[in-house]
Structure formats: C-alpha cells, structure tokens
A and B are shown apart, each in its own frame.
Chain A
Amino acid sequence: MALTLQFVPYDELNGMEPEKRINRLLDIVKKDKVILMQGRLKPSEEAWLIQKTMEHVSKSFRGIELCTIYPENPKNARLVNTLKNMLVKFLVGTRDGLTIIGPATVIKEIKRNPDKIELLTNIK
C-alpha cells in the first residue's frame, strides 16, 4: 500500500468559513490521505478539528495524527526575531509553518522534537 500525501495550499482554505475548512480537511483524511497543509490552523480551529474528528470516529476511521511545524526555533529566537515574526504573522495571518494531518489508521505516530519530525506509519 502506498502512502498518499496531499498538499493543501494556504489559499485553498483561506477564503473558506472555519466549518468548511475543517470539513474539507477531514474529507481528505478520511480518504486515507496525509495532508501537508501550508500554514496552520488557529488554536480554536485545531480544537474544533479534534472535536469533529471525535464525532467521526468509527470502525474504519480511528482519528487523526496532527503536527504543526513552525519556521522559527523558539529556543534560538531573539527578541528582534520574535517581534519580526509577530508582525509578519499579524500581516499574513497563519500562512507560515506547515501542518501535517494524517489518519490514525495510516499514521501510527508523529514524533516531534524541537528540530526534527518522524512520521511512523502503519503501512506494511
């Protein structure tokens, strides 16, 4: 079985209502595809995604694995960088970063340390 990655550009979701955005992401994941989304969801949308995921849990859909990567390393971020990032985020919204969302039946675990990510799959 092959692992399918679907890239979702920021602009594809940006104009959508939050509910539609979450449903769109869940629709893709429920087709056993792993989403690579440009940017990230707001905290409230992430919480909503978890809630919606729980509503959809069934025999064939066991939930999701979720991981957001930020471009800056907070460990090394200096004040100037932090302020710069804050301003950029304010101007461009949540376009920066990358969000990985995969179905739990395909993605066993996403291991994240500050500077690396490991995708462990159930694919044999």
Chain B
Amino acid sequence: MLKVLRSFLGKLSKILKKKKNLKLGLYGPPNAGKSTLANRICKDWLGEEMSSVSAVPHETREVIVKEKINVENNGKSLSFNLIDTPGIATRIDYEDFLKFKMPKTKAKERAKEATKGVIDAIKWLDDMDAVVVVLDATVNPYSQVNITIIGNLAARNIPVLVVGNKVDLKKSDLKAVESAFPQYDVVGISAQHGNNIQEFYEALFKVVK
C-alpha cells in the first residue's frame, strides 16, 4: 500500500513539476538552425539572444538552457525552459573544420568538444517534455541521425514538432521533409528571416498542449 502511495505521489509531483517547468528541447543534426531558432524565440519573447551561430558545423558544443520563456498566442500562454542542444552526428572529423580555414589545433579542440556535445545532447533526451526537431529543408531528410532522434523521442512518448528550416532558400524541399515523417506535424520556417514563425508558434501550442 505504501509502495502504491509513494508511486502515485511520485507521479503527481512529476506532473506538477512538468507543468511548472516544461522543458522544450531543440534537437537535430549540426547546422540545421537550432541555435538560430533558439535566438529567434528568445528575441521574440525575451528581447535577447541565447546562442552563438556560425556557418561552421558544431558551433553549439554544450547544452544551453534559457529559463522561463513565456510565449503568447491567441490569448493562450505557454511557459517553458528552452534547451538548445549540440547537433547530433555519427561522425566528427577535425579535418572538416580545416575547410573553414581553422587552425589545426583549434579544429582538433573543436572536434573533441563536439563529440562531448553529441553525448550530452543524447543524455538530455530523457529530460525533455517536448522537442522541436529542426531539420535543414535543403538537405535530404532520410538520414539515420534524423530517424534515430525521432525514434528515440517516439519510444519515450515525447511530443514532437518537426521543423523544416531554411525554406527561404531555393534548394529547400519541405515536401520531402513532410513525406519522410508523415506521422508528425511539420512546419516550414526560416529561423533566420522569420518566415512562417507565427505558424511555428501555433503548431508548438498544438503539440505541447
């Protein structure tokens, strides 16, 4: 009896905690625009940015948390802690960074930090209450990393919103993202230029509820 009561109280406190401090994670492969979207959300609702962005992959190598973001839409409000995670990759080669004219020692250091970032991002999956999977809509969405991320979220019953970013670019193909993940809500945005950002917030409310 005591065991049952303890389990119920544990679940109840988890629900209350969840409602108070909802954790919204941004996940995806490197250079998809997770940090750009994080900055867009923070700029829209806090008036300040939270992450640095760069054309060089693995710019975000640590999990970054911005607390108490309050988004309002159609008279409803949604409060959450936003978690910007390092891009998940299966390979990290310091030589890839040399192409961006980075010194060898810096490239090696960045690669080492990036491997730790991937490990941390995966570890944080268990803590998420909802996740926005950010994909680059100019890139083929049928990658195992995308499937692994979404598969892990599905296995944990974590609500998912898929974002096809960079729809402002000619090469973007939102239809490909939609057909790769037909079971999820997909919104096409440009986090950099703010295209469709209102639609993104509406979809976020729908997914998080």
A68 to B148, CA, bound (A): 10
Chain A residue at minimal CB-CB distance from B118 = A54
Chain B residue at minimal CB-CB distance from A46 = B148
Count class of interface residues, chain A: 20 to 34
Query: What are the interface flags for B72-100 relative to A under an 8 Å C-beta threshold, 1 for contact and 0 otherwise?
Result: 00000000000000001111110000000
Residue among B88, B123, B148, B155 with max Cβ neighbours from chain A (10 Å): B148
Q: How many A-B residue pairs have CB under 8 A?
A: 71
Contacts of B182 in A (CB 8 A): 74
Name the prevailing secondary structure of the A interface residues.
Answer: mixed
B144 touching A67, Cβ below 8 Å: yes
Name the prevailing secondary structure of the B interface residues.
Answer: helix
A68 to B69, CA, bound (A): 38
Assess A104 versus B93: contact at CB under 8 Å? Given A42-B155, A43-B152, A54-B118: yes
Could you show 28 A-B contacts with beta carbons less than 8 Å apart?
A42-B155, A43-B151, A44-B152, A46-B151, A46-B152, A47-B125, A50-B90, A50-B145, A50-B148, A51-B119, A51-B123, A54-B115, A54-B118, A55-B115, A62-B93, A63-B91, A64-B91, A65-B90, A65-B91, A66-B90, A66-B148, A67-B144, A68-B144, A104-B91, A111-B140, A112-B140, A113-B140, A113-B142
Q: Write the residues of chain A forming the contact surface with B, with a CB cutoff of 8 angstroms.
A: 42-44, 46-47, 50-51, 53-55, 57, 62-68, 74-75, 104, 110-114
